[in-house]
Structure 1
Amino acid sequence: MIIFHAGSLSVPFKQIADSFKTIYPNVNIILEASGSVDCARKITDLNRSCDIMASADYKVIDKMLIPVYAKSNFKFAANEMAIVYTDKSKYSNEINQQNWTEILLKNDVFYGRSDPNSDPCGYRSVFTIKLAEDFYKLPELATNLLDKDNNLIRPKETDLIALLETHTVDYIFLYRSVAEQHLLNYLILPDEINLKNPEMEALYSTATTEISGKTPGEKTTLKGEAMVYGVCMLKNAPNKIAAATFMKFLLNKNGGLKIMEQNGQPFFVVDLPKEF
């Protein structure tokens, strides 16, 4: 059984797969991580065989896979943006909710983010920066910060951890859950900019950005919204019975969802249709 999943799901999905295999030891599970948009493109553009796809943004599945490649999309987990660093990061003993913008703009500080065209964490980083410009009333913040350190943009958010651990960068924009899983320091951001709170959807939607569309040269405009992860089983899944059984386990609050929560990701209770 092959599962394409967002990089930020690497730790919990490994644990979920291991837990599943204690019940179904004969099922061979191959986990393949990449940015969520790239996960979908493997299916739509490269015609790669896959049973399940899990995205850090449920809308990637809605826009790219439904209805041709998948029938249903299940929202199953949440997250939030954070600024992540180590004890060796410059100004790490000073950074706080009030001054992080100033610190990231310093000439002697380097920061990393993931590619908005490949990875939801990438476009969510852009939303957070644009929302911060309004929240802190700092004109030109988004332009100045988004123009800085572009050589340090990476395909998916988990690639950024290597930059941080080798001290190539001082700070990265990353999901709080991934920071917790890797025992990294992180700055909690205000709800107004961290994309965590569904009640702030109207505010989040004021931030927009363009990413590559389905065809070369095409652009898609995205609006900010609260973070919701989605998962689907592919219509032409080569291992349908195993995939359906895994979906049932993943979306059970005493199974996979419990493991998600233990890894810092609050879950949504999911009502599975009868075919599972």
Structure 2
Amino acid sequence: MPYTAPHAPRRARRRDVLATTGALFTSTSVVGCLGRGSERVQVLSAGSLARTFEDHVGPAFSEETGVDVQGEYYGANAVMRMVEDRTKHPDVIVSADARLLRDRLYGEVTDWDIEFASNSVGIGYNAETMFGKRLENGEPWYRAALDTDEGDLSIGDPNLDPLGYRAVQAFELAEREHDVEGFRDRLLDLTYREPDEPQMMAGVESGSRAGAVVYRNMAVDHDMPFQEFPPAYNFADPERADHYATVEFTTDEEGYTAEGRPILYNATVHDEADAPEAGHDLVEFLVNNPDLLKHAGLTVGDSLPRPAGAVPEVLEL
């Protein structure tokens, strides 16, 4: 049966197993024979991919394999902390900052990962608010932002989430790009730091917030108006890596310093995963289905997927 072949040097692909045994088993009996509870795979992921997994990846993976994806979603800094202190014990770990995962988890719970998608940062906004109307009329976002009331705009908590520290870094780069003295600090005084990413979107949708600094895919997920930041500070251009690296942010609790860098999502399987083979299958599914990720609002460039570290031979990329 799939996921229970410890003596095989390389596991048979599940679709091949199903093709040869389809006449003998119903889909229910196949799932039932997966063993060791591996009819589900547990994912601990960056919160910006919650809808990607729940609405796109999870259903498609389950349909193809019969394995359910059970996800929990937090800021990627919080994800790393939960894995490090063993508060959570996922099979698959997904980060919104590839370097963050490597810095925090290599040598602890994994020694490999695969980059599978990218994204961009910008402003998601409510078009019915004064801020939204000014953007709709073509006013530069940074001018309109400085005229908002305290709490009208939100960012992720930079101590919990790469989206949060990317917002802080974007403000600093925008200050230089548009030559607006003090822009970073003035805007940080105005913005609310939201510890729960889904609440950022809910606040903008309800109109209680005029806008939020979000990833493009989050706006796509919610059918929300979105103004992408310029390439100088949207963290989407690999060619600008050196430019992005001129800004950094240090988290309060761990003292982790993240320099600005292009957005890259990566995934790995926990060394002590309860369902390691299902985990490998899910990572393989992520990297081999770029159209699914693009439909969810992510970017998959020609350079992806890109492996790092000692990637298991069982993965077919």
Displaced runs of 4 or more, over 3 A:
270-273
Give the superposition deviation at 1:273.
Answer: 4.2
> How far apart in 2 are the matches of 1:235 and 1:186?
39
Counterpart in the other structure of 1:187? 227
Counterpart in the other structure of 1:103? 144
TM-score (norm 1): 0.90
1:89 to 120, 129, 134: 129
The alignment partner of 2:129 has SS state of coil
TM-score (norm 2): 0.79
Tell me whether 121-130 or 82-91 shows the greater mean CA deviation: 82-91
> How far apart in 2 are the matches of 1:28 and 1:84?
31
Tell me whether 33-42 or 83-92 shows the greater mean CA deviation: 83-92
Give the superposition deviation at 1:146.
Answer: 1.0
- Alignment of 1:132 with 2:151, yes or no, is no
Counterpart in the other structure of 1:261? 294
The alignment partner of 2:267 has SS state of strand
Note the residue ranges of structure 2 that are not aligned, 5 or more in a row: 1-40
The structure that has the greater radius of gyration is 2
The alignment partner of 2:44 has SS state of strand
Give the superposition deviation at 1:206.
Answer: 1.2
Note the residue ranges of structure 1 that are not aligned, 5 or more in a row: none
Structure 1's 221 and 239: CA in aligned 2 closer, same or farther, altered over 3 A? same
2:265 to 226, 229, 253: 229
User: For 1:34-58, what per-residue CA distance to the aligned partner results, in whole angstroms no more than 9, with x for missing partners?
Assistant: 1111111111114422100111111
- Alignment of 1:142 with 2:184, yes or no, is yes
1:258 maps to a residue whose letter is D
Structure 1's 94 and 165: CA in aligned 2 closer, same or farther, altered over 3 A? same
Give the superposition deviation at 1:166.
Answer: 2.2
Give the superposition deviation at 1:266.
Answer: 1.6
Structure 1's 176 and 52: CA in aligned 2 closer, same or farther, altered over 3 A? same
2:281 maps to a residue whose letter is T
Aligned-residue CA RMSD in angstroms? 1.8
Give the superposition deviation at 1:213.
Answer: 4.9
User: For 1:243-273, what per-residue CA distance to the aligned partner results, in whole angstroms no more than 9, with x for missing partners?
Assistant: 1122221211xx3x22111112122134664
Aligned length: 266
C-alpha contact 2:75 2:162 (8 A) present in aligned 1: yes
Identity of aligned residues (%): 24
C-alpha contact 1:118 1:156 (8 A) present in aligned 2: no
> How far apart in 2 are the matches of 1:108 and 1:22?
47
> How far apart in 2 are the matches of 1:156 and 1:241?
31
The alignment partner of 2:73 has SS state of strand
User: For 1:181-221, what per-residue CA distance to the aligned partner results, in whole angstroms no more than 9, with x for missing partners?
Assistant: 2100011221011111111111111112221353xxxx222
